[in-house]
Structure 1
């Protein structure tokens, strides 16, 4: 299935700034409100359903030159546009 990117931004931020972004998303999810992402002239508003699929992924990307690699952690909410949902296993974040 082809992918259409609706919004993307990437920039270096402090841990405190990132935590604030994540808190804002968490507050919106708790309240059942839509989440609006904006940067410059780009903006998208998403209505997250009651039970989206939550994916957490930690990765190590190795350098092709043999130098230090890059680590990442990704948090993703995913749902079908037709409203279907998917049950997953238990997750613990400490």
Structure 2
């Protein structure tokens, strides 16, 4: 299925700034409110359903020579716009 990017933002921020941003998203999710993402003149508002799929991924990527390793932590919330959820059930913890 082709992907359409509705919003994208990438910037260097402190851990505290990232935590504050994630906390604001978490507050919106807890309250059942829409999440609006804004950067400059771009913005998108998303109505997240009650039971979306939550994916957590940690990766290490290197260039072709195996140099310049880069790690990433990806947090993804996804749902079918028709309302169905295809994710697995399971427990996740952060230590």
Structures share a fold, TM > 0.5? Answer: yes
Shift of 1:63: 2.0
The alignment's TM-score, normalised by the length of structure 1, stands at: 0.95
Over aligned residue pairs, what C-alpha RMSD do you find? 1.0
2:83 maps to which residue? 83
**2:23 — aligned with what?**
23
Q: TM-score, normalised by structure 2?
A: 0.94
Cα distance between partner residues in 1 of 2:38 and 2:90: 32
Alignment match, 1:55? 55
Number of equivalences? 94
Runs of 4+ in 1 over 6 A off after TM superposition: none
CA drift at 1:89: 1.7
Structure 2 residues without counterparts, runs of 5 or longer = none
Q: Select between 78-87 and 53-62 the one with higher mean Cα deviation.
A: 78-87
Q: Gapped runs of 5+ residues in structure 1?
A: none
Q: CA offsets, 1:12-46, max 9 Å, x none?
A: 00000000000000000000000000001100000
Aligned equivalent of 1:33: 33
> How far, CA to CA, are the matches of 1:88 and 1:57 in structure 2?
16
